[in-house]
Structures are given as C-alpha cells and as structure tokens.
Amino acid sequence: MLEIDGIFEKIKSDGHRLTKIRKAMIGILFADKCLLSASEIRARLSASGLAADRTTVYRELGFLLGKNIIKEIRIADRKTYYEIVSPEHHHHLVCTKCNRVQEIAMGNHLKRQEDRIYRNEKFKVLAHSLEFYGLCRNCR
C-alpha cells in the first residue's frame, strides 16, 4: 500500500469525504515533497483542470493541518508554505539566491537544547522551527 493511500484511508475512517479537490491537494503536496504556498497549490489545481476557490484551498489546508497530514512553514520571504508531514523530522536549507529549498536532518542536537531549556528556564518546548538561509551548491 502506498503511503498516500494510507492518508486517504485515515480520512475516510475518520468520517470525512474523499473529494476530488482533497485528493488532488494531497496528491500535489505528496508528489512535490517540497514547500508550496497556498496560491501555488491553487495554481497547480487549476493546471490539472480542477479550478478551486481560494476559500476552499485555505479551508482544506486548515483541515489537513488539523489532521496532522501537512505542516506549515514560514520562511523569511513573507510567505507561508505547506508540506506533507514526513516521519523523518527535518529542517530546511533555503538558498537566498535561487530560492531552492532542500531538506536537512539534524539528529537530536536540538533535543538536548530543549532539555536544557526545560531545566534552566522551566519552559516546556513542544515544537520548534529551524531554517538555514544561505547559498546552495550551485549559487555559491
């Protein structure tokens, strides 16, 4: 069973409907495995012959976020991006020249920091966001 089918099954077993737009949006985010903005997603829907209202796209993104199927990333160019939640936790390398984004694993370095923060500050870290900005292999 493809991983994407598991997502579809879960949605159905939770009592929700597998509409054309929903399937297409998940498909787009799943295929891309990279950061897409709401309007980019909407444009791809259009391109595949599935014109959807802006409202619908935002509502669907909200739905998928709530189901923990996708997550939201905000990077420094004033946009909000979405990506499929993958089992391997990762961060992003954002090239400030060509805007390409690649993923990077970080091991448990931050986990240790978070433990330290809890000990020193009594602040319980539940999530974090970490993005690196710079010049990629090609733009260097």
Partner DNA sequence: ATATTTATTGCAACAATGTTGCAATAAACG
Partner DNA sequence: CGTTTATTGCAACATTGTTGCAATAAATAT
Residue 108 found at the interface with a second copy (CB under 8 A): no
35's CB contacts (< 8 A; 6+ apart) are 73, 75, 81, 82, 83, 92, 101
Q: Which of 1, 2, 55, 126 binds DNA (CB under 7 A)?
A: 55
Specify the residue, 48 or 129, whose C-beta has the smaller distance to a second copy.
129
Among 21, 22, 72, 85, binds a second copy (CB under 8 A): 72
Stretch that binds DNA, among 19-27, 86-94, 100-108, 131-139 (CB under 7 A): 19-27
Q: In what order do the strands lie in the sheet with 79-84?
A: 36-37, 79-84, 70-75
Q: Kindly tell me which of 48 and 133 has the beta carbon lying closer to a second copy.
A: 133
Instruction: Determine the Cα–Cα distance for residues 133 and 49; give it in Å rounded to an integer.
Output: 35
